[in-house]
Structure formats: structure tokens, C-alpha cells
Structure 1
Amino acid sequence: MIKARVVVTLKNGVLDPQGKAIEGALSALDFSGVGGVRQGKVFDLVIDHDDKAKAEADVKSMCEKLLANTVIENYTIALS
């Protein structure tokens, strides 16, 4: 069994209105000095086999087909 964590973030240059809203809310809550807030997604997966190379290939395929919109998002994969 292999655990995978996928972190999906917007590419640089892509507008992030949710990040801006969070930044504004933090300011309104008196958290000063916080800027450049970007939001993203995290997926934790359990792959039911022990071949690490196949697990990584499978997770990459999942990202390309479903978990990330590769036109506007980047993703990273960490296996353990």
C-alpha cells in the first residue's frame, strides 16, 4: 500500500479571486502583513499495490485526467 499526496495550485499569472478574498478576510481579522495569498487543493490517496513506479504513474495520470486542470494549474506528487 502506497500513500500519495497531490497538491494542486494555480499557475503563476492566473488570477486567484478566492486567494484575494482570503487575503482581505485576514486583513479584516487584524492579521496584518499578509499578502500574495494563493489557494489550492490537496488530495490524499491510498494506492492498493506496492509498486512505487506504477503508483506514481497512476497518480500522474489521475492528475492529468481529473484532479488538475493542467491549462491553469500545476500539481506536485509526494509518495510515502
Structure 2
Amino acid sequence: MPTIVVDVMPKAELLDPQGKAVAGALSRLGVDTFASVRIGKRFELQVDGEVDDATLAQVRQIADDILSNAVIEDVVGIEVVE
């Protein structure tokens, strides 16, 4: 059964307080490898049947309308995982 993965991230121009908190925690732990951290959301939609162009278009619409808040978030990826 294929799964479609949708990744949603805060818009680049907006602050990410959760990411800042994690970056601060990493710094306190002595981890200096990463310049910044951003935290987003991942959705997995299992498909009953084959994934075709119509299914992907429907997922894109769902991602834009329901899974993300267009004011503060971008849909950054839609991927089919078998």
C-alpha cells in the first residue's frame, strides 16, 4: 500500500521558536555543528490503490487547504513512498 508523505515547514521569513529552542539546547550540550534548526510537520497518507496524477493533484489540494496554514507555512514536499 503506497504512502504519500507531505512535508510542511514554517515560511522562511518567519521566526521558528521551536527550532530556536532546539538550537539552544544543542548549543548547551556542546553541539556546535549546526547553524540553525527549523521544525516542521510531516503527514503520511496511505493510499488504497495506485497513485496517479489525479491522486497527487488531490493531495496537493488537501495539503494547501487543510494540512498547512498558507499565511505562515509552505508545503515543501510531496513524495510517494512505496
Gaps of 5+ in 1: none
Distance 1:51 1:35, change over 3 A: closer
TM-score by length of 2: 0.85
CA deviation map 1:3-33 (0-9, x unaligned) = 2011111111111011000000111111113
User: Whole-Å Cα distance in 2 between the matches of residues 33 and 26 of structure 1?
Assistant: 9
Distance 1:78 1:51, change over 3 A: closer
Q: Paired residues, what number?
A: 80
* CA displacement at 1:51 relative to structure 2: 4.4
1:67 corresponds to which residue? 67
User: Whole-Å Cα distance in 2 between the matches of residues 71 and 15 of structure 1?
Assistant: 13
Determine if contact 1:2/1:52 at 8 Å carries over to the other structure.
Answer: no
TM-score by length of 1: 0.86
Q: CA RMSD in A?
A: 1.4
- 4+ residue segments displaced more than 2 Å: none
